[in-house]
């Protein structure tokens, strides 16, 4: 009986001692230590671009809301209005990070694009003239080089694929010219598409990112670069975006060796597979990239890819979402033959495609518009005469033109628009109104129609639910 209290105290102590250790996993990293270790590898970048000679702006009326009104403004406006000004310089600030001891630096392309001079300032205050060694506008990345005889501190590149939502991250940069500013937060989301380009795949973070942070590193708690700070939303609070570092690693060798990036080209326009579209194709799940259009004489066209195919696999990688495909194709070496897994008429099929080079002005894969909620029938249609096609700028006379959508009818809340041309219904061509009526003649209430629609220069699939 005497030993029971001792046993109880030992058990209680062991439980209490275990509590701090379980809490450590959720605790933030020691940002003081991280900042001291990592700041030497982060640089400030300033650029200058010669501006063309321009006329002095006309005299502006004095305003109580302008804080810069003074005697000198009035003097110069009054006596020098309209006189040409001498050449001036456009200046910009950004950030970057050293990736090799011999002076290679990664930053954003928009920080240095068009610059006549690029100056890099290290954390110890030394400045160097930098050379732009490579640029990639599509990913907004650039590679710089400074010449120095001594080894420079380097930022280790991590693996952004292993980054998890909720992880702590730290950004270091030059916001508003405030050098070596450190901010911290968490990963808010991954794979964000914000309309910045064809390869959108951003890391979203609530670590404060402001103008001047562009090109700076986003570090994980191990002190590894997982992202390149790239974008902010105007007026957004606590929302910043970074390009995953793995995307930069994929093109780094090309930037070093050739100064630009060569990407693969497939030659298809794809769109997301929605639940409604999946139902119309009798599929169990909505996955893959739906082919809305195949470019003539393209790798996809030559391999036998057809409109309506669903790409579910590319060179051994699963294509679960439309956004997966452009990045996979772009990373493929030119002239490489890959296996393309597709679904056609409910059956799996494998095609072999020889990937071509993506030329300027092309996209590896064109992503079409995403379908919204299905609506109800109710359309005013007409045949397309040659005269009407010419007047509307249509490519041909096949299809039926939507003249109007009845606000109380079946298509009132669909994604269809006035001026759309319906090319197919459930895979059957509709070259005229008679063909359209035949295609929908046996449709029952509650059935979902799959429509192929031409909208301007784009072709896309959408759905329409019969009332």
Rounded to a whole number of angstroms, the distance between the first and last alpha carbons of the chain is 81
Residue from 160, 188, 208, 214 carrying the catalytic annotation: 214
Mark whether 140 is an active-site residue. yes
DSSP classification of residue 41: G
**Residues in a beta bridge with 228:** 217, 243
Residue from 110, 188, 200, 315 carrying the catalytic annotation: 110
Do residues 76 and 60 touch, judged by C-beta distance below 8 A? no
- Nearest 5°: the CA angle 273, 278, 280 is 125
Q: How far apart are CA 254 and CA 162, in angstroms?
A: 24
Q: How far apart are CA 452 and CA 271, in angstroms?
A: 12
Q: How far apart are CA 42 and CA 97, in angstroms?
A: 4
Name the phi and psi angles at 277, rounded to 5. -65, -40
Q: How far apart are CA 384 and CA 390, in angstroms?
A: 10
Mark whether 214 is an active-site residue. yes
Q: How far apart are CA 308 and CA 290, in angstroms?
A: 6
- The DSSP line for 121-189 is E-TTS-EEE-EEEEEETTTTEEEEE---SSPPP-PPB--GGG--TT-EEEEEE-GGG-TTEEEEEEEEE
Do residues 238 and 287 touch, judged by C-beta distance below 8 A? no
Q: How far apart are CA 319 and CA 338, in angstroms?
A: 14
Binding residues: 110, 140, 212-214, 230-234
Closest to 269 (Cα-Cα) out of 193, 369, 368: 368
CB-facing half-sphere around the CA of 352: CA atoms within 13 A: 3
Biggest CA-to-CA distance, the chain: 106
Residue from 136, 140, 315, 420 carrying the catalytic annotation: 140
Q: What residues act catalytically?
A: 110, 140, 214
């Amino acid at each position: 009986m005497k030993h029971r209290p001792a046993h109880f105290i030992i058990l209680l102590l062991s439980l209490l001692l275990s509590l701090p250790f379980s809490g450590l996993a959720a605790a933030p990293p020691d940002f003081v230590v991280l900042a001291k270790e990592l700041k030497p590898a982060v640089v400030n970048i300033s650029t200058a671009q010669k501006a063309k000679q321009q006329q002095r702006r006309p005299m502006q009326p004095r305003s109580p809301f302008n804080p810069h009104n003074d005697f000198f403004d009035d003097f110069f406006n009054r006596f020098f209005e309209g006189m040409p000004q001498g050449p001036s310089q456009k200046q910009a600030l950004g950030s970057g990070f050293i990736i090799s001891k011999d002076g290679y630096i990664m930053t954003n392309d928009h920080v240095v694009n068009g610059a006549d001079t690029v100056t890099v300032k290290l954390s110890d205050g030394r400045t160097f003239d930098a050379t732009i060694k490579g640029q990639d506008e599509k990913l907004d990345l650039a590679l710089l080089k400074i010449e120095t005889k001594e080894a420079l501190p380097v930022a280790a590149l991590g693996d952004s694929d292993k980054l998890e939502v909720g992880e702590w991250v730290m950004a270091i940069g030059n916001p508003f010219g405030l050098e070596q500013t450190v901010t911290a937060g968490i990963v808010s989301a991954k794979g964000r598409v914000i309309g910045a380009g064809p390869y959108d795949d951003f890391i979203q973070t609530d670590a404060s990112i402001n103008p001047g942070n562009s090109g700076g590193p986003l570090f994980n708690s191990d002190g590894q670069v997982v992202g390149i700070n790239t974008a902010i939303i105007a007026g957004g609070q606590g929302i910043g975006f970074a390009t995953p570092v793995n995307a930069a690693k994929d093109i780094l060798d090309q930037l070093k060796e050739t100064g630009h990036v060569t990407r693969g080209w497939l030659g298809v326009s794809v769109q997301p597979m929605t639940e409604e579209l999946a139902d119309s194709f009798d599929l169990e799940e909505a996955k893959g990239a739906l082919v809305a259009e195949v470019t003539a004489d393209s790798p996809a066209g030559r391999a036998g890819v057809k409109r309506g195919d669903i790409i579910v696999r590319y060179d051994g990688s699963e294509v679960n979402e439309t956004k997966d495909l452009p990045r996979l194709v772009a990373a493929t070496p030119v002239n490489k033959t890959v296996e393309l897994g597709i679904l056609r008429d409910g059956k799996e099929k494998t095609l072999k495609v020889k990937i071509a080079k993506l030329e300027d002005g092309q996209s590896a894969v064109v992503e079409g518009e995403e379908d919204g909620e299905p609506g109800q029938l109710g359309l005013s249609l007409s045949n397309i005469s040659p005269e009407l096609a010419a007047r509307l700028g249509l490519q041909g006379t096949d299809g039926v033109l939507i003249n109007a959508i009845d606000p109380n009818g079946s298509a009132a809340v669909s994604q269809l628009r006035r001026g759309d041309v319906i090319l197919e219904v459930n895979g059957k061509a509709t070259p005229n109104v008679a063909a359209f009526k035949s295609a929908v003649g046996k449709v029952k209430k509650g059935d979902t129609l799959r429509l192929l629609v031409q909208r301007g220069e784009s072709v896309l699939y959408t759905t329409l639910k019969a009332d």
